[in-house]
């Protein structure tokens, strides 16, 4: 039996195959999934905002930059080799739009940019990015195979 490990908002978890990581109801937030395909271990972070911007206190797992740092540290502690790590990301939607008032900087887009930037900075290739749109996503990540299953309410389900 595979265990399903649930990752909350502003939370991160790691797992070993055959366990599955799950996070539910991503809107403008992003689920960052990282795994080492050889060792079959990985982790998931559910980030809410692009950057901690040096803010002290609060939960570092809220932000793309500080959450990824924590996640990578914990994945490394499981024995993963950084150069083998691969990433998949999902989320970053804009759920609401107000007529005549285009938001200047949509938070979903900013989150996606920040996550891509942080992964690149760490030299981790992004194999799949299912970001944007105007709908919520629930994601399941298999840390062994690297399969990311993305479920939506009205926009189908897919595996990337």
Residue 50 neighbours by CB distance under 10 Å:
21
- Whether 33 sits among the annotated catalytic residues: the reply is no
CB 96 to another protein: min, Å: 4
CA distances from 5 to 23, 113, 117 (A): 9, 27, 27
Active-site annotation holder among 29, 68, 75, 87: 29
Number of residues that bind another protein (CB under 8 A): 37
On whether the CB atoms of residues 86 and 125 are closer than 8 A, the answer is yes
Name the DSSP letter for residue 83. Answer: G
Residue 95 as a binder of another protein (CB under 8 A): the answer is: yes
Selected from 1, 38, 54, 57, the binder of another protein by CB under 8 A is 57
Residue with Cβ nearer another protein (57 or 123): 57
Both structure tokens of 123: 């030299």
Q: How far apart, in whole angstroms, are the C-alpha atoms of residue 32 and residue 45?
A: 5
Binding site for another protein (CB under 8 A): 8-11, 24-29, 48-50, 57-59, 62, 93-99, 103, 105, 107-108, 110, 134-138, 151, 153-154
């Amino acid at each position: 039996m595979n265990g399903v490990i649930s990752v909350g908002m502003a939370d991160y978890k790691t797992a070993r195959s055959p366990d599955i990581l799950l996070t539910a109801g991503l809107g403008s937030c992003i689920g960052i999934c990282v795994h080492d395909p050889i060792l079959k271990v990985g982790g998931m972070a559910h980030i809410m905002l692009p950057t901690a911007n040096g803010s002290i206190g609060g939960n570092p797992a809220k932000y793309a930059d500080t959450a990824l740092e924590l996640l990578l540290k914990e994945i490394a502690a499981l024995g993963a080799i950084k150069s083998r790590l691969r990433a998949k990301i999902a989320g970053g939607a804009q759920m609401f739009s107000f007529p005549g008032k285009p938001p200047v900087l949509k938070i979903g887009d900013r989150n996606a940019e920040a996550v891509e930037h942080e992964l690149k900075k760490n030299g981790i290739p992004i194999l799949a990015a299912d970001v944007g749109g105007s709908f919520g996503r629930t994601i399941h990540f298999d840390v062994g195979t690297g399969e990311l299953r993305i479920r939506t309410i009205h926009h189908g389900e897919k595996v990337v």
